[in-house]
């Protein structure tokens, strides 16, 4: 009887491992930072090394640049020809693009960061909500809510605005670690027509984003 149970367990494990091996998703993760998410297996990835290299060149090796604070980052796009420069540009992209980024906070940020600071990491959302004219046309806030993870908490904001005559939609989650020392940024975006067409998969990716915190 015992041997039969062992055999049954072995068969079950084999089936589970086989299923995992045939997964239709990729699971980018940083074990050190306690962060992971999932994207479709067919998407093109841009590595931490490639993103760091691009930022280092763009910052001209300035010692006080934000690039020096980055602990981990990766990007993925459905476009197989996606360029690193597109990840850091506000120019609309025609295919879904996601970026996960973890960086240390500076001493001044640790003491001053609020929920509005988290909202404004990419675009000055808090000022735009209040009606400030910042030259960002057609701004709309679609979702703005608190997010609490095991290792951090912050704000998820979904918003749209026009750039060079094209409307685009951003789904961003920006969290601060429980000890207020680390910033976790997760962003998914594309032109609004693309976002609506791919909304289900975009939301699945965003919902998969998990922050457990550094070990």
Supply the CATH number for residue 35's domain.
3.40.1000.10
Q: How confident is the model at residue 162 (pLDDT cuts 50, 70, 90)?
A: very high
- Residues 113, 176: Cα–Cα separation, whole Å: 9
Q: Which domain holds residue 96?
A: 24-211
Average pLDDT over the chain, rounded to whole? 88
Query: Strand, helix or coil at 12?
Result: helix
Does 82 map to a domain?
yes
Total domains in the fold of the chain: 1
**Confidence at residue 67, expressed as pLDDT on a 0 to 100 scale:** 74
- Residues 46, 51: Cα–Cα separation, whole Å: 7
Does 33 map to a domain?
yes
pLDDT at 4 over 50: no
Does 75 map to a domain?
yes
**pLDDT tens digits, 119-146:** 999 999 999 999 998 999 999 999 999 9
pTM of the predicted protein model:
0.86
Does 12 map to a domain?
no
Does 14 map to a domain?
no
With a pLDDT cut of 90, the percent of the chain lying above it is 79
Radius of gyration in angstroms for the set of CA atoms belonging to the chain, rounded to a whole number: 20
More confident residue, 21 or 41: 41
Does 9 map to a domain?
no
């Amino acid at each position: 009887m015992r041997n039969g149970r062992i055999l049954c367990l072995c068969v079950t494990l084999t089936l589970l491992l086989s299923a995992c091996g045939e997964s239709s998703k990729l699971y980018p993760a940083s074990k050190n930072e306690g962060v992971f998410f999932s994207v479709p297996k067919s998407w093109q990835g841009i590595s931490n090394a490639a993103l760091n290299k691009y930022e280092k060149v763009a910052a001209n090796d300035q010692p006080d640049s934000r690039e020096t604070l980055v602990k981990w980052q990766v990007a993925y796009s459905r476009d197989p020809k996606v360029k690193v420069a597109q990840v850091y540009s506000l120019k609309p992209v025609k295919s879904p693009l996601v970026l996960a980024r973890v960086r240390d906070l500076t001493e001044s940020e640790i003491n001053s960061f609020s929920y509005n600071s988290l909202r404004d990491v990419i675009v000055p959302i808090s000022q735009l909500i209040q009606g400030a004219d910042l030259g960002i046309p057609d701004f709309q806030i679609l979702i703005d809510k608190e997010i609490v993870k095991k290792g951090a908490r912050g704000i998820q904001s979904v918003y749209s605005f026009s750039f060079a005559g094209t409307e685009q939609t951003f789904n961003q989650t920006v969290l601060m670690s429980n000890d207020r020392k680390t910033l976790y940024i997760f962003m998914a975006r594309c032109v609004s027509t693309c976002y609506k067409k791919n909304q289900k998969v975009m939301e699945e990716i965003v919902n998969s984003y998990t922050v457990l915190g550094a070990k």
